[in-house]
Chains A and B, each alone.
Chain A
Amino acid sequence: MPSTLIAERTEASLNPRQAQSARVRPGRQGRARVLTLGRTTLGLVLLAAIWEFAPRAGLVDPHFVTPLHEVLKAWWEMARDGSLWHQTEASLRRIGTGFGLAILVGVPLGAAIAWYRTIREVTTPVLEVFRNTAPLAILPVFMLVLGIGETSKDAIVCYACLFPIVLNTVSGVTNVDRQLLRTARVLGLSPVRTFTQVVLPAALPTIFTGIRIAGATSVLVLIAAEMVGATAGLGYFINYAQMNYLIPQMYAAILTTTFLGLVVNYTLVGLERRFSRWRA
């Protein structure tokens, strides 16, 4: 019988109290860990195999779905002649600028909204309106106003990243444990110190969730923006390759965006871990 979630989650183990009093941590046998690792690898290997053999077997048109090895070959060539880096660099720079700016603006803005009741009550409906407008729907407006240069791309990434960051900061700050605030008051902390010493650290995990969502959003929105109007960047290149029938190169660029997304996400996850080591 395959092991289901029920069995997995209700498996007999040391309860937290016992673990604590014996000063040990529950662990798993080496065999179980190897098995888990094997299964996770299996998924990726299967995906690669399907990509390689489905076109070869004629299940899909190999002209449109290039077998994986050809894609990897194209990727390697593009990496060697520098064209891949040229496109990636353009995209990275936009993500860095837009996403970075969104963090710099979004966290203080969210904190101010949460901190002052008046600002919160005035901005909440406005934020709701903007949040529920798809960022890509406003992309043409950005192009009109800011032109098709770098500014419009940086701006759209920044704009799209701003909402998850602002909204999560607002929620993190407003939901700070009431008892912690009472403690701060009882200890006579000034409002500024209460904010920096109590509220901000308490809200940090929630803020980070917003930053992570924003990280994923930044890649997504940027690629789309580059497809619409740009002269460099991965999104631009994917579109360009498709129209010029450079299909393996197109897939190579798509794979690169995946890689970019993974790098952004795991960097943020790593940072989050560093900042929240105190959590259980």
Chain B
Amino acid sequence: MAGHITLTGVRQEFWVRPESGRDGKGLHRFLALDELDLEVRDGELVTLVGPSGCGKSTVLDLVAGLARPATGSVRLDGEEVTGPGLDRGVVFQQYTLLPWRSALGNVEFALESAGVRRAERRERARHYLDLVGLSDFAGRYPHELSGGMKQRVAIARSLSHEPEVLLMDEPYGALDAQTRERLQEELIGIWQRTGTTILFITHDIEEAVYLGQRVAVMSARPGRIKELVEVDLDRTSTSRDVRSTPEFARYRHRVWNLLREQTVSVAGADERDKNGKEVEKVA
């Protein structure tokens, strides 16, 4: 199975207006990502962690094809990403189920746009709902499902069209701690069974370390990959609480340190902002 993502020298800018009360006025060019390089290999599960506002979601938008980079290239299996496609599945943080369709209907929705025939659609939708453990809830509408269930349906929907890559943007951000842990374990299982390449974005260090074979730590303003941390943990044994092992704590601490260094440097960057060095003033 293919699903090789490469981002090379990616730069992304937006036009912004300063909030009232801040120095300066007029439009500025805001540098969201600069010289960002990232590679996710076939079948790999990479987590992208960084402080809030560092541009994590921008990276995901680029890979999903919802945006094009200002410069640099985003490639999937060597081909330039020019727009969204069914070779990539996306799970957003917000619940994005169609509220007027049942859980099953929501999964079928993805298959309809993939052009799967009606008879096969239902069967496949059931299969993927089963994969996320929701067979009994197929007929329920989103408002009758809990937050965790909604995200599972969204995951089933994204997997149903059998993408090469699954992109997840803080999908568990709004869930309670227990539900989140259970879904993390489920995701590992799904990843092992399907062999899908996964790029998982989070701001939660533990989540990043627990899920990622590699953790890409991002720096903010402008967003760059600061360091890639290889994580070598055995997550297969269900009897053992991986999160409480000393290895896990070491990895967690390493990522924590990397992010901590940054908070300090971001505070420094704020100072520079005022002198207009970081943010180019245009109008």
Contact = CB atoms under 8 A, between A and B. Distances in A.
A179 B109 contact: no
B98 A193 contact: no
Q: Is the interface of A mostly helix, strand, loop or mixed?
A: helix
Nearest to A201: B100
Contacts of A177: 96
Contact of B66 (A182, A197, A278, A280): A182
Interface string A59-99: 00000000000000000000000000000000000000000
Nearest to A278: B100
Interface stretch (A30-38, A110-118, A183-191, A212-220): A183-191
A186 B66 contact: yes
A179 B151 CA distance: 14
Contacts of B86: 187-188
B88 interface: yes
A279 B100 CA distance: 7
Contacts of A279: 99, 143
A279 B88 CA distance: 30
A185 B146 CA distance: 25
Contacts of A20: 146
A189 B113 CA distance: 6
Interface in B83-134: 84-86, 88-90, 92, 94-96, 98-101, 109-110, 112-114
Contacts of A201: 98, 100
Interface residues of B, number: 26
Interface string B122-165: 00000000000000000001010010000000000000010000
A11 to B, nearest CB: 23
A198 interface: yes
Interface in B180-230: none
Given A183-B92, A188-B85, A278 B64 contact: no
A182 B92 contact: yes
Contact of A188 (B100, B113, B141, B143): B113
Contacts of A202: 98-100
A180 B143 contact: no
Interface of A: 20, 177, 179-180, 182-183, 185-189, 193, 197-198, 201-202, 276, 278-280
Interface of B: 64-66, 84-86, 88-90, 92, 94-96, 98-101, 109-110, 112-114, 141, 143, 146, 161
19 contacts: A179-B92, A179-B95, A179-B96, A183-B96, A186-B64, A187-B84, A187-B109, A187-B110, A188-B84, A188-B85, A188-B86, A197-B109, A197-B112, A201-B98, A201-B100, A202-B98, A278-B101, A278-B143, A279-B143
